[in-house]
Amino acid sequence: MSPSLHSKLPGVGTNIFTVMSALAAEHKAINLAQGFPDFPCDPDLITRAEAAMRAGHNQYAPMPGLLRLREAIARQVSEAYGAAFDPISEITVSTGATEGLLSTLQALVHPGDEVIVFEPAYDAYIPLIRLAGGTPVAIPLSFPNYRIPWDQVATALSPRTRAILINSPHNPAGSMIDSADIQELVSLSEKHPFMVIADEVYEFITFDGHQHLSICGVEALRNRSVVLSSFGKTLHTTGWKVGYALAAPELSAEIRKVHQFSVFATSTPFQHAIASYIEDRSDEVWNLKHFYQAKRDLFLSLMEGSRFEPLPAAGAYFQLMRYGRISDLSDTEFSLWLTRTQGVACIPVSVFYAEGRDEGVVRFCFAKENATLEAAALRLKSL
């Protein structure tokens, strides 16, 4: 007798990023779909990684992460947000921010718990909540400015609410929380015992004078928050999969229990390379917003005169565009058509909603070489 198979994620198939990247390759399209750079990281990082390997740093790192890297993260967080985190008990190096999120949800969410998420939402959030046995409670951000509707959050809170998951700067919308949002969150926390999970992987990519307000700098939320970030976005090394989680000691201890039995530790030579790099080259981190603002501004200037309508973005390296003056196709059909016939791949924003809400918007990634953006804009402006 054959064993029966009951999928834990029956509604999950191949994600849209894989589909669109494969389609882009098939049609030799310019890929502005998947969110990673097409330019190299700093060669100095590669030199440092090679040096770490040649120095013999090729075995397991300590489970919570190389202490040198955790100390460097603590200094960076202190400089950026004025928040003190103990590298011994409050910082855990994860295999990318997604593994940090998985370990956090598995550690803190139990069957029957609810987790509030805001849509459009990064595609890993809802599946990871369900894998932890939790129930996602999706609240749409207001359109087209993608702000949090706090009145709906207050209504959605219940005795089963275990956590609120916040993403700022936001993927895909590029919106950011401000001081009013933080005050709303603090006010709700005074009445309800939920935890806050903050995905802040784009923390150093902000535009037009907008300042990222990290949850780790909010003292009133200090003991109930987990803040996740990633060097993949900060150092253009998404393939290295080095992220980290900031949390109070009792939360960190629970997260580490899951982390040690999922991946145990993150790449040792990459941790050494990143630690030494941010010790010596912290200016590269602080200048990241200028680097990406130049790319965002270039892409927008190249798209001037097109029939696409850009939506405002305060951070992250994505630009949302309305296409209603070009087509009345659904956003998924439009994205497929654009890739096949015009040779530019994008992502339909409806895939970031569990119920597929379609507002006629697509996402372009501008973390690309200038020549890539110029070639893509030339094709897009022909529509």
Read off the pLDDT of residues 141-188 as tens digits, 9 standing for 90 and up.
999 999 999 999 999 999 999 999 999 999 999 999 999 999 999 999
pLDDT of residue 15: 78
pLDDT of residue 34: 86
CA dist 140 and 186 (Å) reads 20
Percent of the chain residues topping a pLDDT of 70? 100
Average pLDDT (242-259) is: 98
CA dist 85 and 77 (Å) reads 8
The pLDDT-based confidence of 233 (bands split at 50, 70, 90) is very high
Q: Beta strands 161-167 and 114-119: pairing type?
A: parallel
- Assess whether pLDDT exceeds 80 at residue 4: no
Convert the pLDDT of each residue in 54-98 to its tens digit: 999 999 999 999 999 999 999 999 999 999 999 999 999 999 999
CA dist 353 and 355 (Å) reads 5
- Assess whether pLDDT exceeds 80 at residue 2: no
Domain annotation for the chain: domains and CATH numbers: 16-41+288-380 (3.90.1150.10), 56-284 (3.40.640.10)
The pLDDT-based confidence of 18 (bands split at 50, 70, 90) is confident
- Assess whether pLDDT exceeds 90 at residue 17: no
Tokens of 32: 């502005």
Choice among 7-21, 67-81, 158-172, 273-287 with the minimum mean pLDDT: 7-21
The pLDDT-based confidence of 21 (bands split at 50, 70, 90) is confident
